Structures are given as structure tokens and as C-alpha cells.
Amino acid sequence: MFTGLIEEVGIIERVDEPGNGRRLHIRASNILQDLKVDDSISINGVCLTAIEVNKDYFSVQAVAETLRKTTVGEWRTGTRVNLERALRADSRLGGHFVQGHVDAVAQVSNVESRPNEWLLSVRVPSNLTRYVILHGSIALDGVSLTVARWLSPIATVSLISHTLQKTTLGDRRVGDGVNLEVDMLAKYVESLFAPERGGLNEEKLNAMDYVPRDRNRNVHETI
């Protein structure tokens, strides 16, 4: 589990391709302070396991399924990637809950530079649009962001200078692919109220102690 708050930008130092997967060697510094073999790490929003850790780099293995669903297959020597270690239970939770399970690769549809902000728009695949809402959370290349504009299927996020400096999103251009993860809480809600589970009905509302609002009462009145 991650938060989408990037700790460091690493650089792909070497790519090996044994069998139908990829082994990536990534140069880093800050995150290596307590990173251990078998630890989970988010790399551009993809949760991978550290299989080797040295003083100035670490290595991960990506299987064929990961290559199919993410941008990992496009990474080359010199590619910059966003890095975040797994969330600690004793830390403040900034950003939002990010699993590192990429839902799809979204294409950048527009980039707009304005004074003190940078607008990045992506085309959300049709099967995921129901999980996106205005001012809701999404993760792009592992970065926790708020949807500033939503005109389905185009989601636009606003990036401040700090985010551009601390992540790789400033490198993105129209046509680039980014790893998209929608808010997992929306998926859980959908699952709970799915038709095969009975949907949302009066019985479920009563179980949740829902009290209907008095239609005759002014909506501005206090309880």
C-alpha cells in the first residue's frame, strides 16, 4: 500500500530481459536507506518487489502480465521513474490509498502550461470512467492527484511547481502513456452494491441506520 507521495526520482541503470519478463536495475539514493530485499516499492505507480539492494541501486523483476498492463515494457536505460516505499502504519497518510495495481495505461491528450501551474489531461479508458469524479483522487505514474476537470473520458489534473520538480510528470507529452490507478474505494463501493449482492435497497439502508430526510423540512435547517 502506498500514498502517491513520491519520495525520489530514480534512473533505470540497466535492463535485462530473461525469458518473457524484465529485470530492472534502478539507481537511487534516499529510498535505499532502509530498503530491503522482499520490500514492495512503487515504481511509476507499479508495485514491484526488490530482489536485490546495493548501496546505490536496487533491482526488481517484472513478469509478462505487468509488461502487458503497464508502461514498464517501455522503460529503457536512462528512463526517469517515480519511487515510493510502502506506507508505514505509524506515518501520516497524505495523498490517498494507492495499491500500486495499475488499472490501465492512459494516453496524455493535452498539456497546458500556465503561470504557476501545469495542466495535464489524460484519456481514461471507457471501462474506468465510472470510477472518476470531479475533485476525486487518481494516481498517474504513482503520483496522487486530484481531478481538477472531468469531461468524460478526459480527466485533467493541475500540477504545481513542486510536483513538477519532484516527479517525472513534467516529462510527459501528448501521446505518452501513463500508468493509471483509479481510487480503489470507488471499486469497493461498487462491489458492495452490485446487483448480484442485492444492490442498494431499503433493507440495506436500514441496516446502515439511514434516516430519510423530511421532505417538508427546509434543507438549510439544522438538525
169, part of any domain: no
Distance CA 171, CA 119 (A): 13
39, part of any domain: yes
67, part of any domain: yes
42, part of any domain: yes
DSSP letter for 64, please: H
- pLDDT given at position 214: 53
Q: What is the pLDDT along the chain (223 residues), one digit of tens a residue?
A: 899 999 999 999 999 998 889 999 999 999 999 999 999 999 999 999 999 999 999 999 999 999 999 999 999 999 999 999 998 877 777 888 899 999 999 999 999 988 878 999 999 999 999 999 999 999 999 999 999 999 999 999 999 999 999 999 999 999 999 999 999 988 888 887 776 666 666 676 677 666 665 544 443 333 3
The amino acid that residue 75 corresponds to is W
Cα dihedral sign for 7, 11, 16, 19?
Answer: positive
Domains in the chain, number: 1
Structural domain span for residue 25: 8-85
142, part of any domain: no
Decide: 187 and 168 in contact? Cβ < 8 Å. no
- pLDDT given at position 221: 38
- Displacement of CA 23 from its chain's centroid (Å): 22
74, part of any domain: yes
34, part of any domain: yes
- Could you tell me which residues are beta bridge partners of residue 10? 81
163, part of any domain: no
Any residues with CB less than 8 A from the CB of 197 and at least 6 apart, and which? Answer: 191
